[in-house]
Structure 1
Amino acid sequence: MPTPQERAADYAAAGFASRIGPGAAPAVVVVDVCRAYLDDGPFADGGGRFEAARASAERIVEAARAARRPVVFTRVVLAPGGADGGWFVVKVPGLAAFEDGSPWIDPPAAPAPLPGELMVTKQYASAFFGTTLASSLRALGVDTTITLGFSTSGCVRATALDATQHGFRSLVAREACGDRDAAVNDANLFDLDAKYADVMGESEIVSYLSTFKEPAA
C-alpha cells in the first residue's frame, strides 16, 4: 500500500493537485457546526474529532472577524417529516435530527453567528444548492471561500466543490473539518485537494487572514 507521500506524488505526476491559490477577498463559510455533532449529539463521534474541528473553526472565525472579513454560517433545517428533504432523508434517516425546532440544529457557544452575519438555511449537502449563498458572496465582493465544518465527507465536501463550480477560489481548512471516521475524513480531504480545492492547514489560513488586518495605529 503506498504511503501518503507516494500517493500524493502519483497524483501530481498524473496532473492532479495543482494550486489555485488564495484571492484578494476571502470569506469563511462555516458549514453546519451545530450541537448534533458535539457532546451527546446523535452524530457525535465519541473520539473528539468533531470537538477538535470545532475548536479550530473557532480560531479561524476569530481571525476572520479580526481581519473584518465576512463569516457565513450554514445550517440544515428540514420540514416536519423531512417533507422538503427528498431522497436525501430516505438515504439518511438520521437527518430527522435537523427537523425544524430540534435543539440539535443550534450552534455551539463558539463559533456562532454574531448579529449581522449571514446564516444560510439549506436542505441538502451543498450550502450553494437551492440557496442565495453565491449571490450573497458576490454582493460582498468575495472571490475566495474558506470552507470548514461538519462533516468533511458530506456537506463540507459538497460546499467546497460547489464553490469552485460557482467561480470562487475554493480553500478548505484541514484541522477545522470533522468526520465520524478519521480515514474517511483524510480520504475526502486528499481528494478535494487533488481535484477541487486547496486544502490548507489552520496556521496557513490564519496567516492568510491576518494579511487583511489593519495595523495598529
Structure 2
Amino acid sequence: MNVLRFTLIRGGLAMCLVGLLAAGLLVAQSTFAQSTTEPLTLIKHLRTELGSKDDARQERALIDVIALASCQESCTVFLQSAMNRKVRIANESGTGNVVDLDALTPGLLRAYRSGPGDGHKLLALSALINVGNQKALEKLIEEKDAQSADVQRVTNMSLASFYFAKYPDLTERSIRRRSLTLDDVQRAEVLRVRAERRAQKEGGQ
C-alpha cells in the first residue's frame, strides 16, 4: 500500500510554495485591460507549451496554468507564455475553477515526473494542486516517492492540505495514524457521495 506520510502542521501546509509563487508567479489580476486571446485556443496553446523541449517555455506555461487555476472570480491573466497577451475570464457561479484545465493534467504530471530540477517540479506540483483533478492527484500519491526529499516533502504537505480541506473527516484519523493512504481518500470520496445522495433524497421528500 502506498502511504503518504507527512509532518502535521496546522494552517497552510503548502507554505513552502508561497515563497515560490510570491515572486510574481501568480499573475491573475483584475486591473489589466486590452487585448485577449481566444478561449478556444488557450488549452491547445498551453498543451503545446507544456510539451515543448524548451524548459523555459514549459515553466512559463506552468506559471500560466497556476494563474488560471487560481482564478475563482472574474479576473484577467497576463500570459507569460504568449508574449504577455491577456485573457479575461469570469466566473458567474463564484465557485470552482473558471477554466477547465483537466486536459492539461498529462503534461503537468510529465513535468512533475521528469522536470529538469526541483523548482520546475514544484511549479508542476502547484499547478496540479490548483487544477485539483482527482485522478492526477492520486497519481502524485503513487509516484511522489521517486522524487527528491525536498519535492517529496512539499508534495506530502500540499496533498495533505488539499485532501483535508475536501474531506475534513480524514483529519482525525490521519492525525492518529500520522499517515494518509490512497485507500483513505477513496473511502472518504465514497462516504461523501453517499452523504450527498442521502441529503438529496431527504430533500426531495
Q: Which has the higher contact order (CA 8 A, sep 6+)?
A: 1
Same fold (TM over 0.5): no
Q: Which has the larger radius of gyration?
A: 2
TM-score, structure 1 as length reference: 0.31
- The structure in which a higher percent of residues are strand is 1
TM-score normalised to the size of structure 2? 0.32
More helix by share: 2
